[in-house]
Amino acid sequence: MANLGIPQNTIEILQKYNFNFQKKFGQNFLIDTSVLDRIIAAAEITKDDCVLEIGPGIGTMTQYLAERAGEVVAVEIDNKLIPILEDTLSAYDNVTVINDDILKVDVNKIVQEKNGGRPIKVVANLPYYITTPIIMGLFENHVPLKSITIMVQKEVADRMQVGPGTKDYGALSLAVQYYAQPKIVANVPPNCFIPRPNVGSAVIRLTKYEEPPVKVKDEKKMFAIIRASFNQRRKTLVNGLGNAGIYGITKERVTEVLEEMQLSPTIRGEALSLEQFAKLSNLL
């Protein structure tokens, strides 16, 4: 089968099927074999692995995964790509293509059916506009995962791994770092894609924790508190949380708890670490 990481082969397939890129699906296909090799290496794929690929496109990375993994499940939303995938993946009998929206798919069910409920690895070149809901969906639905290795917009990758006090720090940083250890493994310039995106990309690997690094009584409540703390970044925590309408949380109560934690009543959310948010949430 022709390696689609080679630009000429990708162009040939696109012409053969008269494929038009869909802006609404954020389609940018990878045309760089060295980047593909790095993604596969970072994901540490072996024959024991069942891999979920989100947005396989024309099957460029799917081919690489199929050669190394035991089983690959690829979820593709664009039905115009399904006949192309049938063609480009025809040589592999360990790939299942599902034509659906990943946000509507029951991933836990796939893990049960394809991997007997054992943790899978997720690999994806994600459309930028939908990165956060996809990642959060995988974590919040407690899908059995070993790791998520994904290509995302460079600034989103940065946001996932920064700490308190930086301008990129926010709800996404905290959520990712609660569930997983983030590590940027490669920066990828726009010319590695067809069509070229307007922004730089990065490959980041999120290695799932067996147990979160902090103990929280109520996960949902902590994340409601985190989201409210960053909804209006310029507001103090007392105002941000006091006005958020979260059950049982008043300005007075937040002030009391901050005092108990020996934090200033004028502190903002961006100054708190994950440990401090966990403590705040438990006390509230």
Domains and CATH numbers, the chain: 7-208 (3.40.50.150), 219-283 (1.10.8.100)
pLDDT class of 1 with cuts at 50, 70, 90: confident
pLDDT class of 127 with cuts at 50, 70, 90: confident
pLDDT class of 209 with cuts at 50, 70, 90: very high
d(CA 173, CA 178): 9
Backbone angles phi, psi at 118, to 5 degrees: -75, 155
Burial class (CB in 10 A: 0-12, 13-18, 19+), 122: buried
pLDDT class of 130 with cuts at 50, 70, 90: confident
- Is the pLDDT at 247 greater than 90, yes or no? no
Q: Can you say how many angstroms the Cα of residue 94 is from the centroid of all Cα atoms in its chain?
A: 24
- Is the pLDDT at 272 greater than 90, yes or no? yes
d(CA 163, CA 276): 12
- Pairwise pLDDT comparison (110 vs 126), residue with the higher score: 110
The pLDDT value given to residue 180: 98
Those residues whose C-beta lies under 8 Å from the C-beta of residue 237, and which sit 6 or more positions away, are 229, 254, 258, 267, 268, 269, 272
pLDDT tens across 146-157, in order? 999 999 999 999
The pLDDT value given to residue 59: 97
Q: Which residues of 188-215 are buried (b: 16+ CB within 10 A; e: fewer)?
A: beeebbeeebeeebbbbbbebeeeeebe
User: Which one-letter amino acid corresponds to residue 174?
Assistant: L
| 63: its two tokens | 């081919």
pLDDT above 90 as % of the chain: 89
